[in-house]
């Protein structure tokens, strides 16, 4: 399937575990597993799934994240699911009226990386599709994660919530952006991509400046000597801001040359 590279090993190093409490639909478990796989989360615990386990709908909805579904651990109670963890994060959009620290997913990502580095075992707690976690379940957590969402529509489905928190966990762990293809490696980071070329050198850029300014001068573009210096500066600044590549400079010089040849040809025909 698109976006899946089966030649790559699945991440199996230390990472937070995902705990789904009383999920109602297998499809939601599967899409949550798919979101986990996107961001290097591989340990899934399920507390009292409504439709039992195993669940073929969950496997199908996982869209290739089969290893997460197949290795999921089923628990009868939340207490039993959390007993081996050092720190638990409860995800919720609602205020709970209890004394407990609240952080954003981004802050949680930083906190989780620090604690994983100290060999702590972490659990991310996600509630039911229809009404999330109850207060007793939230009380078992050490900290609450709440995202800055639209207050008029704050509800996230399970997979969205897992994706949001998983991204914040994984974004500083990732070595590349996106996925490699047989033709090209994965992107090393954000910024201007220049495949099959490179940024233009100043010598190449200044050569283009001389070329276009000479041709414009010959064509009578600069109407008065007084305005010419300012017009040249404006034009140079325009092209400098474009951060041209070597290929783009060559293309621009080709455009100028083509226009010049056409102009000279027409001029020659008109003089006959």
Whether pLDDT at 5 is above 60 = no
State mean pLDDT over 185-202: 72
pLDDT digits (tens, 9 = 90+) for 45-61: 999 999 999 899 999 99
Distances (CA, A) of 43 to 106, 120, 212: 21, 14, 61
| 78/136 Cα distance (integer angstroms) | 10
Residue with tokens 């579904």: 69
pLDDT digits (tens, 9 = 90+) for 105-139: 999 999 999 999 999 999 999 999 888 899 999 99
Q: What is the pLDDT of residue 172?
A: 81
Domain boundaries in the chain?
17-170, 202-263
Helices (H), the chain: 26-38, 56-61, 66-70, 78-82, 105-117, 135-138, 158-170, 202-218, 228-241, 246-271
CA dihedral over 184, 188, 189, 190, signed as positive or negative: negative
Average pLDDT value for the chain: 87
Residue 169: exposed, middle, or buried by beta-carbon count in 10 A (0-12, 13-18, 19+)? buried
CATH 3.30.365.10 is right for the domain spanning 17-170: no
Query: Number of H helices and number of E strands within the chain?
Result: 10, 7
Q: What is the CATH number of domain 202-263?
A: 1.10.8
Cβ atoms within 10 A of the Cβ of 39, count?
A: 21
Residue whose C-alpha is closest to residue 33's, from 81, 3, 68, 57: 68
Does residue 13 come out as left (phi exceeding 0), alpha (psi in the -120 to 50 range) or beta? beta
Q: What is the pLDDT of residue 97?
A: 78
Q: What is the pLDDT of residue 1?
A: 44
State mean pLDDT over 170-184: 68
Does residue 223 come out as left (phi exceeding 0), alpha (psi in the -120 to 50 range) or beta? alpha
């Amino acid at each position: 399937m698109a976006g899946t590279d089966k030649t790559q090993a699945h991440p199996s190093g230390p990472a937070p575990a995902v705990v789904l409490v009383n999920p109602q639909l297998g499809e939601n478990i599967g899409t949550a597993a798919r979101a986990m796989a996107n961001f290097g989360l591989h340990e899934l615990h399920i507390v009292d799934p409504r439709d039992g386990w195993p669940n073929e709908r969950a496997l199908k909805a996982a869209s290739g994240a089969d290893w997460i579904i197949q290795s999921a651990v089923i628990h009868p109670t939340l207490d039993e699911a959390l007993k081996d963890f050092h720190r638990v994060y409860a995800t919720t959009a609602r205020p709970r009226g209890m004394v407990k620290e609240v952080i954003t997913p981004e802050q949680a990502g930083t906190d989780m990386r620090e604690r994983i580095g100290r060999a702590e075992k972490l659990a991310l707690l996600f509630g039911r599709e229809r009404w999330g976690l109850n207060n007793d379940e939230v009380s078992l957590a050490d900290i609450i994660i709440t995202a800055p969402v639209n207050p008029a529509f704050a509800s996230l489905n399970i997979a969205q919530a897992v994706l949001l928190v998983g991204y914040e966990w994984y974004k500083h762990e990732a070595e590349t952006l996106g996925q490699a293809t047989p033709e090209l490696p994965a992107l090393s980071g954000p910024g201007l991509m220049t495949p099959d070329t490179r940024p233009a050198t100043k010598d190449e850029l200044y050569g283009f400046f001389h070329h276009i300014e000479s041709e414009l001068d010959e064509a009578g573009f600069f109407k008065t000597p007084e305005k010419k210096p300012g017009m040249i500066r404006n034009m140079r600044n325009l092209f400098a801001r474009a951060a041209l590549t070597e290929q783009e400079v060559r293309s621009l010089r080709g455009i100028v040359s083509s226009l010049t040849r056409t102009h000279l040809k027409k001029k020659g025909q008109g003089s006959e």
